């Protein structure tokens, strides 16, 4: 009661103290600082840093209490985080993260909260310690967890949050080496399996003679590739150095130099590039050539590629016919397969876009009926359509342009 008899509700000491703190901070924010000496400014910044840690500790205490007691139930909020995000205009993700952290500190990491409240631990360091200890394997007992927490809190006096996070990943190596080694081996094996499964490569042609790509590799494979490309890019070997341009040139050179005898078969022949050109182009003409992928290239590059291992030149006559090679084999030879790929450009079934590497050589006149193994009497069919060609329930119809189609027999 006041002297006038009016009742005054002073509220909880925490609320009253926070009200006074807000008032004092408002006054401090309005005060001029131009007269502060450099040493005073430096000390004030450090003092404020400690105050921020103490405020973070109080925030943890209040959020954890609100969560535990359901303090937002009477206003219809679904959770403390949802209510806090709405009222403070904080993002829902950040509010949820801080409430979750507060509950973890109160329930499992009281020592972290005490270090924050003392002003010596930073809020981001506290999150690192909590996350590191909670990430320990389930089989790690409470005593080892306590040792890990104490070790990281001690290291926090000398390291920032980023360095502390690195130490946290290997904290078992310090407090329980035998457990740490086993867990590291387990984690690495799991990480490697996931990395193998996540391998990806995408390439897209921009229509201007350049292809762009993205890839995902296990880090150890990327390290191997980086070593090779850096060697090729070395200025000592005429490279441009480890610049994006130099590494790009080295990558192209690596592809050109890859041993063709180590390339696996694709569709019955090695995965080599077939360059189709006229005899005139081969001997110095200006007519463009074409790869079996459909890419047009300059005559100069065609003549250059024709001299390289792993690149097969197919020279066409005046009627653009590839000569037949070999008629005494049951199966088409590698050379014949290359000729079929150069001519057919993939499965010859209408509506099928399977490339040559996915196709098989088919005899138009069956071998069993006296047909020969030749380019003229052969064609490329993908596995599905090759199966249909020999299926008694389907009939194959020939169309102009060396195309075929299949229909089920009545």
Are both 28 and 113 inside the same structural domain? yes
Chain mean pLDDT for the chain: 81
How confident is the model at residue 96, as a pLDDT?
97
Give tens-digit pLDDT for 320-334: 444 333 233 445 667
Report residue 83's pLDDT band, with 50, 70 and 90 as the boundaries. very high
Are both 133 and 267 inside the same structural domain? no
* Domain final position from 140, 160, 192: 192
Are both 160 and 31 inside the same structural domain? yes
Are both 237 and 357 inside the same structural domain? no
Is 80 exceeded by the pLDDT of residue 287? Answer: no
How confident is the model at residue 170, as a pLDDT?
85
Q: What is the dihedral of CA 24, 30, 36, 39, to 10 degrees?
A: 60
Looking at per-residue confidence, does 400 or 265 come out higher? 400
Question: For residue 18, which of 64, 63, 58, 69 has the smallest C-alpha distance?
Answer: 58
Are both 351 and 232 inside the same structural domain? no
Question: For residue 203, which of 212, 195, 194, 216 has the smallest C-alpha distance?
Answer: 212
How confident is the model at residue 222, as a pLDDT?
83
Give tens-digit pLDDT for 185-229: 777 778 888 888 999 999 898 888 888 989 898 888 888 888 888
Are both 354 and 379 inside the same structural domain? yes
Domain membership flag for residue 402: yes
Give the domain extent around 299. 262-316
Give how many domains the chain has, as a whole number: 4
Domain membership flag for residue 326: no
How confident is the model at residue 75, as a pLDDT?
92
Domain membership flag for residue 113: yes
Domain membership flag for residue 360: yes
Lowest model confidence (mean pLDDT) among 39-48, 99-108, 231-240, 325-334:
325-334
What's the whole-number mean pLDDT along residues 271-280? 60
**Which H/E stretch holds residue 16?**
helix 13-30
Quick one: what percent of the chain has pLDDT higher than 70? 77
Domain membership flag for residue 205: no
Are both 218 and 291 inside the same structural domain? no
Are both 23 and 155 inside the same structural domain? yes
Residue with tokens 């008629």: 327
Report residue 349's pLDDT band, with 50, 70 and 90 as the boundaries. very high
Are both 143 and 220 inside the same structural domain? no
Are both 217 and 154 inside the same structural domain? no
Domain membership flag for residue 154: yes
How confident is the model at residue 120, as a pLDDT?
95
What's the whole-number mean pLDDT along residues 174-184? 77
Is 90 exceeded by the pLDDT of residue 115? Answer: yes
CATH code for the domain in which residue 360 is found = 1.10.30
Using a 10 angstrom Cβ sphere, with 0-12 exposed, 13-18 middle and 19 or more buried, the burial of residue 378 is buried
Are both 226 and 297 inside the same structural domain? no
Which two three-digit tokens encode residue 399? Answer: 């169309």
How confident is the model at residue 294, as a pLDDT?
67
What's the whole-number mean pLDDT along residues 126-154? 93
Domain membership flag for residue 268: yes
Domain membership flag for residue 382: yes
Are both 184 and 42 inside the same structural domain? yes
Report residue 154's pLDDT band, with 50, 70 and 90 as the boundaries. very high
**Neighbour-count burial for 174-202, b at 16+ CB within 10 Å, e otherwise:** ebbeebbeebeeeeeeeeeeebeeeeeee
Strand pairing partners for 316?
278
């Amino acid at each position: 009661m006041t002297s006038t008899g009016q009742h005054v509700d002073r509220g909880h000491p925490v609320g009253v103290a926070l009200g006074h703190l807000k008032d004092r901070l408002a006054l401090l924010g309005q005060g001029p600082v131009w007269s502060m000496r450099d040493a005073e400014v430096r000390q004030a910044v450090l003092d404020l840093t400690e105050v921020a840690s103490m405020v973070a500790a109080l925030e943890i205490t209040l959020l954890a209490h609100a969560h535990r007691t359901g303090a937002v139930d009477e206003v219809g909020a679904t959770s403390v985080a949802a209510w806090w995000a709405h009222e403070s205009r904080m993002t829902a993700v950040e509010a949820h993260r801080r409430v979750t952290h507060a509950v973890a500190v109160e329930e499992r990491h009281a020592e972290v909260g005490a270090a924050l409240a003392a002003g010596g631990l930073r809020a981001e360091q506290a999150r690192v310690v909590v996350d590191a200890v909670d990430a320990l394997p389930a089989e790690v007992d409470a005593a080892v967890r306590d040792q890990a927490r104490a070790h990281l809190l001690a290291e926090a006096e000398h390291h920032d949050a980023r360095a502390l996070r690195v130490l946290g990943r290997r904290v078992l190596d310090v407090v329980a080496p035998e457990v740490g080694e086993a867990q590291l081996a387990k984690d690495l094996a799991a990480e490697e399996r996931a990395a193998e499964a996540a391998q990806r490569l995408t390439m897209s042609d921009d229509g201007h003679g350049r292809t762009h790509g993205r890839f995902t590799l296990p880090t150890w494979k990327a390290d191997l590739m980086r070593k090779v490309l850096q060697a090729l890019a070395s200025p000592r070997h005429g490279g441009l150095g480890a610049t994006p341009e130099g590494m790009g040139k080295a990558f192209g050179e690596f592809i050109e130099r890859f041993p063709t005898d180590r390339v696996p078969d694709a569709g019955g022949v090695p995965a080599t590039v077939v360059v189709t050109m006229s005899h005139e182009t081969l001997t110095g003409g200006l007519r463009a050539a074409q790869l079996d992928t459909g890419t047009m290239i300059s005559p100069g590059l065609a003549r250059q590629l024709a001299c390289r291992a792993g690149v097969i030149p197919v020279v066409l006559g005046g009627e653009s016919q590839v000569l037949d090679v070999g008629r005494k084999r049951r199966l088409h030879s590698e050379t014949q397969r290359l000729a079929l790929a150069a001519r057919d450009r993939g499965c010859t079934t209408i509506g099928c876009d399977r490339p040559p590497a996915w196709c098989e050589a088919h005899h138009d006149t069956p071998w069993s009926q006296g047909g020969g193994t030749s380019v003229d009497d052969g064609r490329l069919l993908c596995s599905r359509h090759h199966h249909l060609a020999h299926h008694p329930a389907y009939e194959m119809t020939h169309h102009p342009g060396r195309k075929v189609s299949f229909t089920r027999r009545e």
